A and B are shown apart, each in its own frame.
Chain A
Amino acid sequence: MTEQVTPEERIAALGLRLPPVPAPVAAYVPAVRSGPYVFTSGQLPMVDGELVETGKVGTDVDADVSPEAAKAAARICVLNALAAVRDLVGELGKVRRIVKVVGYVASSPNFTGQPGVVNGASELLGEIFGDAGAHARSAVGVAALPLDAPVEIELIVEVRD
């Protein structure tokens, strides 16, 4: 029997579900394996083919998306990225560790809270992978993202055979 809690079990206990892998919006694949590493494409906060939020993230009253809503959207990006990883390697129990997270936040001009938004991704990875979820990270503010998404997350993970 599996002597440890699997990532899939943690996802279920957290009340979450891995979605079907979203179709790419251009000419690329959702994830690529190179040696022991899997690189995912940037994932948008899509649920059933629709973005859960659109627009720029900021703290001003006229910002489209609040930092809290963007943080929640970052969690959805992670689920989509993990779905792409699982599709490629079979099961998330093969993930040895999360190596790096890159998060892009479509930001209002004066918004500097990108790390707080990308924390939505980092915290969920910690809950799903425990110690193996600790990772290096970049959190980048950008002017705009595809389809007017507020946040985009990509992962690099190390997998075992």
Chain B
Amino acid sequence: MIGRAREFRTAGRAPAPPRPAATVVLVRGDPLQVLLLRRATGLAFAPGLYAFPGGSLDRVDEGETDGAPDPLLRFRRAAVRETHEETGIRLDPKCLKPWSIWVTPPFEPRRYETVFFLALAPAADDVVLDPAECAEARWVAPARAAAERLPMLPPTLYTLRELATFASAAHAMDSPRVVRRFALDLDLDADPPRWVETDGREERS
């Protein structure tokens, strides 16, 4: 990653515009467990890494609803659609809790601005994987998954650490949440390089 950041700085390219995306952190049980998928090795973005279900917004996610207008509608629809495609689990778009927003760092060639939602997994739903996208699915305790050093992107690890503080899935879903937008970049002038907010502030965590 540091190599890509250095190459980007040397090349002086403009950053790719981030595409809108949605991710679902599925939680269940007491003690809390979270669903982690291992992404297929053939994928263009984050191949082979552990991640939550999700993906880019699509044309099919656009359009109005009959109910009250919801500014996040297309994100909720994308979150539900991707979760169903990748895991077979069906969710109610209204039951997704906005959790955080993550923007891929400017040096990455594929960039996303992703709304992370928290959702309670339906009790009886078994995971049915799409082998083209996912190699494996695991329900894990977040603290344990974070400690295992599984290959994953920083937002996945950060989210697992956040969830490790909750006793149960219900506690996490019911928690008051101040949603933050994480738009980080690597400060290559620091030794060792460290994450900073893109406006130059240090990462507050």
A residues neighboring B (CB under 8 Å): 1-6, 8-15, 126-127, 130-131, 133-134
Residue in contact with B181 in the complex, picked from A3, A127, A134, CB distance below 8 Å: A127
B177 proximal to A (CB < 8 A): yes
| Chain B contacts for A133, CB-based, 8 A | 199
**In the bound complex, how far is the Cα of B181 from the Cα of A15, in angstroms?**
11
The prevalent SS among residues of A at the interface is helix
Closest to A126 in B: B199
Q: B62–A1 contact, CB under 8 A? A: yes
Residue in contact with B20 in the complex, picked from A4, A8, A11, A134, CB distance below 8 Å: A4
A13 and B199 in contact (CB under 8 A), knowing A4-B18, A130-B103? Answer: no
Q: A9–B179 contact, CB under 8 A? A: no
| Chain A contacts for B181, CB-based, 8 A | 10, 13-14, 126-127, 130
Q: A9–B72 contact, CB under 8 A? A: yes
| Chain B contacts for A13, CB-based, 8 A | 72, 75, 98, 101, 115, 179, 181
Taken residue by residue from 1 to 29, chain B's Cβ proximity to chain A (1 for < 8 Å, 0 otherwise) reads as 00000000000000001111000000000
Number of cross-chain contacts by CB at 8 Å: 66
B162 proximal to A (CB < 8 A): no
Closest to A123 in B: B201
B156 proximal to A (CB < 8 A): no
Q: A9–B178 contact, CB under 8 A? A: no
Closest to B98 in A: A13
| Chain B contacts for A10, CB-based, 8 A | 101, 181
Interface residues on chain B, size class: 20 to 34
**In the bound complex, how far is the Cα of B103 from the Cα of A15, in angstroms?**
18
Taken residue by residue from 91 to 110, chain B's Cβ proximity to chain A (1 for < 8 Å, 0 otherwise) reads as 00000001001010000000
| Chain A contacts for B177, CB-based, 8 A | 15
Q: B113–A5 contact, CB under 8 A? A: yes
**In the bound complex, how far is the Cα of B177 from the Cα of A14, in angstroms?**
9
**In the bound complex, how far is the Cα of B71 from the Cα of A12, in angstroms?**
6
| Chain A contacts for B180, CB-based, 8 A | 14, 127
A15 and B179 in contact (CB under 8 A), knowing A3-B20, A5-B20, A8-B71? Answer: yes
Q: A2–B20 contact, CB under 8 A? A: yes
Complex A-B: 21 CB contacts under 8 Å = A1-B57, A3-B17, A4-B18, A4-B113, A5-B18, A5-B20, A9-B72, A10-B101, A11-B71, A12-B71, A12-B72, A13-B101, A13-B115, A14-B179, A15-B98, A127-B101, A127-B181, A130-B103, A130-B198, A131-B199, A134-B199
**In the bound complex, how far is the Cα of B198 from the Cα of A6, in angstroms?**
18
| Chain A contacts for B59, CB-based, 8 A | 1
B141 proximal to A (CB < 8 A): no
**In the bound complex, how far is the Cα of B59 from the Cα of A1, in angstroms?**
6
A131 and B18 in contact (CB under 8 A), knowing A10-B101, A13-B101, A13-B179? Answer: no
Q: B17–A4 contact, CB under 8 A? A: yes
Q: A9–B18 contact, CB under 8 A? A: no
| Chain A contacts for B58, CB-based, 8 A | 1
Q: A15–B20 contact, CB under 8 A? A: no
Closest to A6 in B: B71
Q: A14–B101 contact, CB under 8 A? A: yes
Minimum distance in angstroms from A124 CB to a CB of chain B? 10
B183 proximal to A (CB < 8 A): yes
| Chain A contacts for B203, CB-based, 8 A | none
Minimum distance in angstroms from B178 CB to a CB of chain A? 7
